[in-house]
Amino acid sequence: MARDVSDATPITARDALVEWIAQGEKPRAAWRIGTEHEKIPFYRAGNAPVPFAGPAGIEAILAGLRTATGWEPIEDGGNLIGLFEGEGGGAVSLEPGGQFELSGALLSDVHETRAELDEHLGQTGRVAEPLGIGFLDLGMSPLWRREETPVMPKSRYRIMLGYMPKVGRLGLDMMLRTATVQVNLDFSSEADMVKKLRVSLALQPIATALFANSPFTDGRPNGFLSMRSHIWTDTDPHRTGMMPIAFEDGFGYERYVDWLLDVPMYFVKREGVYHDVAGASFRDLLAGRLAQLPGERATRSDWANHVSTVFPEVRLKRFLEMRGMDAGPRSHLLAAPAFWVGLLYDPVALDAAWDLVKGWSAEERERLRNDAPRLGLDATIAGRSAAAIARETLAIARSGLSRRGITDGLRRDETSYLDPLEEIAASGRPRARALLDLYHGSWGGSVAPAFEACALPAPEPA
């Protein structure tokens, strides 16, 4: 989660909220790719979690990265809690349990994403290695209990940590113990946004199954292939899920804004101070009658920050954010943008993907979303297995990337980044199943070997 938006422009009417989202429209030539990924830090000696403070803590990694990159600091209460490159550039931030996140810059193609990822992993590794710190490429911390997980000193997180147990059983696990890879993509118009949102929402459980990589919790198998994804089903029903309204006739910017206005707020930020208004209505802030802050009126910052606190499987800001995938190894972090770019950025592929999913009912989509974390590619929808749909979807994505025809210095196009997903779809075995086989086999019923087998390595050669 990158830094909060700062824009004190007053907002007094619903139309301005709608316009804020509509301003995200871009012509196709200006479409970009943003990739965000989280990794879980640990001490190589003893496999312990890494606290924020101290000479070998997370703040020390950030300080080292600041020197290495020259990026600007993000501070909260005097603590260094992130870095940012500048307008349109990348940022490094912390999730509540210390998950280390790169919010990538706006890039033109997946080859640029590869270069960005390798530079970040190289810089982070060079800073963390002397501190004895490694990073897990799993979708959930496999060993530490929730109460053993350090909490980062970010003011907004203190508010969320207090509110989460009131609205779901697993929200604290989501905040403190999970890790994801997300892909941010553009749209050209309201109609383009709606079509992309519907396709990506319907296919998000297929991505969950392909990227499933969180089978361990508290030192043992948890009964799921993607526990991270399952956790979201019991986090906060007001702001999560498959957003069925997106498939209703007449859906667009206005209907989405109305849905957002009905999602309870977390906080209002004024002069660097986070005011806890958890459970309050943005409508009251818009009207200047918020009980916790009498007389305060909404600003564009308030709206942007509120939009960032809803968590459906695909989130609409001024771009579309794919949210259904577990974090994973380097190859998966590159496969994620390739998968969604291939499907959504080529008009022929987008039409084919819509034809694939348009007949699914809301009940079928919801069932698939609930089954995919447990069954993976063995889940079914409309009489077909998720594995079969994954293979068809990947073929569509490959054709879309091929038509883009964007090559790197070795004349390779973007289709090669789909190879690991195609292997998974062909075998029906996401990484989580392979890890479970190791746990029950050569690992001898222990997750300790994961801290070596699932540590992010140095970047692979180009």
Hey, CA dihedral for 310, 192, 91, 138, is it positive or negative? positive
- For the chain, the residue count is 462
Two structure tokens written together for 298: 């909404």
Burial class (CB in 10 A: 0-12, 13-18, 19+), 86: exposed
Query: Residue 255 CA to chain centroid, in angstroms?
Result: 23
Residue matched to tokens 């943008």? 337
Question: What pLDDT is recorded for position 461?
Answer: 55
Q: Is 9 inside any structural domain?
A: no
CATH number of the domain bearing residue 383: 3.30.590.20
Two structure tokens written together for 95: 């999730």
- Low-confidence stretches of the chain (pLDDT < 70) are 1-5, 458-462
Q: Is 462 inside any structural domain?
A: no
Parent domain of 263: 14-453
Q: Is 461 inside any structural domain?
A: no
Here the contacts of 355-360 (C-beta below 8 Å, separation 24 or greater) are 356/389, 356/392, 356/393, 356/396, 357/198, 357/199, 357/202, 357/203, 358/198, 360/202
Tally the domains of the chain. 1
Q: Is 2 inside any structural domain?
A: no
Helix and strand tally (H, E) in the chain? 17, 17
Question: What pLDDT is recorded for position 462?
Answer: 52
Nearest alpha-carbon partner for 4 in 69, 82, 60, 102: 82
Q: Is 6 inside any structural domain?
A: no
Return the beta strands (E) in 146-243 as ranges.
180-185, 216-217, 220-221, 240-241
